[in-house]
Amino acid sequence: MLGTRPIQRSRAATAVAAIAVLLGTTLVGCSPTPAPPSSRCSTDALVLTCPHNSTTLVAAGEARVVHWQVPHGTPPTGGWPVAIMFQGTLATAALSWTASPLEPFGAYYQTQVVQGLLDNGFAVLTPETHLAGLTFWDTNNPLVPDYYQSNDHALMLTIFDRLADGTFGAVNPARLFATGISSGGYMTSRMAVSYPGRFKALAIQSASYATCAGPLCSIGPIPTDHPPTLFLHGNLDPVVPVGTMWAYAGALNAAGRPTLVVVDPLSLHRWIPQAPGEVVNWFRTYNS
């Protein structure tokens, strides 16, 4: 069933938020929300920081870095469930682990997603794109017409192998989740299209179907086992029109796949403020 959670604001809050949109950020306070003592992450007067490890993998002859962390405490039987977060274009995955509330593109909310997942028992992996994260994913790259011949496909197969052999700690390779923004959102969809049965649930921020690109979007075949999918989008997104997201969500709904849509009415192309809570809740719902 297709669910929606549009966000309502008072007139005063809307006026303030509109100014923030023009500045490319959201006014969430002068300093980060304090992290609880039990959190993997910490805050100071300026930033939220989540410490992490970095591992270099070699996929089809190319070195690719994966940043990762596991929760505090004793892992459950079988290991921690794993959330893979795919970076947006040019925004290297290392940026997922630290951010200020005043940074653009909702970067602070992205790091809050990482914090929330870690604090709720999910290991987090953030692989980098080509050229140390300064490019984009191959899922919809017109220069790579066959995704299965791409280095990104080789990277994903390598990640699956390394999840199983303990490279990323005590994790459960049978409990995989994926999220990402923009190019990383399309790559999140790719997890459903190209790796059937591997992922329990997806959360797509500011993107659509795996082969779409901005306004150019044709929704391909919906796998019969497409994971339950949460869509997060800014209604004013000029890069990935919100209508392309609705087309994908509608196709999933028509196929009987669980879907939830959360649209922020004033956001552009960015992580929306609702993302941290919604992503964690969505993944927890399907972590069974």
Least confident window among 28-42, 56-70, 162-176, 215-229: 28-42
Collect all residues with Cβ–Cβ distance below 8 Å to 219 and sequence separation of at least 6.
208, 209, 212, 247, 248, 251
Residue 61 domain boundaries: 51-285
Helix (H, G, I), strand (E, B), or coil: what is residue 84?
A: strand
Q: pLDDT at residue 242 above 70?
A: yes
Residue 84 confidence class, pLDDT cut points 50, 70, 90: very high
156, 148 in Cβ contact below 8 A? no
Residue 286 confidence class, pLDDT cut points 50, 70, 90: very high
Residue 4 gets which letter from DSSP? E
pLDDT in tens, 109-121: 999 999 999 999 9
Q: How far apart are CA 85 and CA 279, in angstroms?
A: 11
Bridge-partner residues for 80, per DSSP? Answer: 171
Q: Residue 116: enclosing H or E segment and its boundaries?
A: helix 107-119
What is the average pLDDT score of the chain? Answer: 91
Residue 202, in any domain of the structure? yes
Residue-level pLDDT at 34: 87
- State how far the alpha carbon of 42 is from the alpha carbons of 119, 135, 268, in Å: 12, 29, 28
% pLDDT > 90, the chain: 85
Residue 36, in any domain of the structure? no
Residue 30, in any domain of the structure? no
Residue 225, in any domain of the structure? yes
Residue 269, in any domain of the structure? yes
Q: pLDDT at residue 66 above 70?
A: yes
Bridge-partner residues for 63, per DSSP? Answer: 58
C-alpha atoms less than 13 angstroms from C-alpha of 78 in its C-beta half-sphere: 11
**Strand ranges (E), the chain:** 2-4, 42-43, 48-49, 53-59, 62-69, 80-86, 98-99, 123-127, 171-181, 199-205, 229-234, 259-264
Token digits of residue 261? 């849509």
Helix (H, G, I), strand (E, B), or coil: what is residue 63?
A: strand
Residue 41, in any domain of the structure? no
263, 6 in Cβ contact below 8 A? yes
Q: pLDDT at residue 195 above 80?
A: yes
Residue 93, in any domain of the structure? yes
Residue-level pLDDT at 4: 56
Q: How many domains does the chain fold into?
A: 1
Residue-level pLDDT at 9: 33
Q: For residue 194, give the CATH number of its domain.
A: 3.40.50.1820
Look at the chain and count its residues.
288
The candidate with the shortest Cα–Cα distance to 124, out of 198, 207, 41, 56, is: 41
Residue-level pLDDT at 16: 35
Q: Rounded to 5, what percent of the chain is helix, strand, coil?
A: 30, 25, 45
Helix (H, G, I), strand (E, B), or coil: what is residue 248?
A: helix
238, 269 in Cβ contact below 8 A? yes
pLDDT in tens, 6-33: 433 333 333 333 334 433 445 455 578 8
Residue 21, in any domain of the structure? no
Residue type at position 161: D
Least confident window among 14-18, 108-112, 189-193, 266-270: 14-18
pTM listed for this prediction = 0.90
Least confident window among 1-5, 61-65, 146-150: 1-5
Residue-level pLDDT at 23: 36
Q: pLDDT at residue 170 above 80?
A: yes
Token digits of residue 166? 């303990």
